[in-house]
Structure 1
Amino acid sequence: MVRERPTSPHTTIWRWHLTMATSILHRITGVALYGGALIAAAWALSLAGGPETYAAFKGVMGSFLGKLALFGLTLAGFYHLGNGVRHLTWDLGHGFDLKSANASAVGVIAFAVAATLAVWVIAGMTGAL
C-alpha cells in the first residue's frame, strides 16, 4: 500500500538568499578543515619520516596545487572562525533581524577574504612562500 505523504521542499523551490548560502558555506568549510587536519597530520608524519620524506612533503605543498590548497584552507579557516563568532552572537540573542543577519554575513565574508589576503601577503613578504 502506497501512502500519499508530503515531501520536504527541494532546494530548487527555495529562493536562495545570503544567510542560506553562508549557512551552507559554514558546513562546507568545516568539512574542508578536516582536510586541513589531515594535511597537518601528514606534515607531522613527514617530519618523523626523516629528511627525504619531509623534502617530498615540502615539494608537494610548495607546488602550485599545494599552495592553492593551503590558500583555500586559510580562507576556510578564517571564514569558519568569523561565522563561528557570528553564531555565538546569535546564541546571545543578537542579530536575528534580516538586516543584521545580512550585514553580519557580508562582514564575515569580508573578514575572511581580508584576513586570508593579509596572511598570504605577509607570508610572501617574509619569504615563507
Structure 2
Amino acid sequence: MIIKKYTQADEKALFALIEQEGVEWAEYYDTKKEQYQKALAHSITYVLYEEELCGYCRCRNDDGFGIYIYDLLVDKNYRGKSYGRALMQQIKRDYPQVAVYVMSDVNSYYEKQGYAEVGTIFAVEL
C-alpha cells in the first residue's frame, strides 16, 4: 500500500474510481466534473495505491482551526482492509497539531472506527 498526495497524474484513475461508485457520486464525474477538478486542485487530497488507485481522501484546511474531510472513498474490492482508516491517519501524521473532522453522511462507518461525534451539519436554505 502506498499513500501519497494527489497530483494531476492521478486524475484519470481517480475519476474512474469515482465513476464506478455509481449515482451517489455522479455529479463529481458528470455534471460538475470541471468544478470538482478545481476543488481537487485547491484541496488536500491523498490517493492510495495497491497496484492501482483504490482509494482517496479529499479535505480542506481551515487555516489551522481544523482539517475537514469532505470525501473518503475506497474501491469496493478493497474495502475491509483498513484503507479508509489509513488515509485518515495519514492526514493526522501530516498535520499533527490540527484537529481533523469528517463531514459525513455515513456515520456508522466513522462510529465503527471509534471516532467521536462532535456536531451536526445543516444545509442552509433560503
TM-score, normalising length: structure 2: 0.26
Higher strand share: 2
Higher helix share: 1
For the pair shown, which has the larger CA radius of gyration, 1 or 2?
1
Larger relative contact order (CA 8 Å, sep ≥ 6)? 1
TM-score, normalising length: structure 1: 0.25
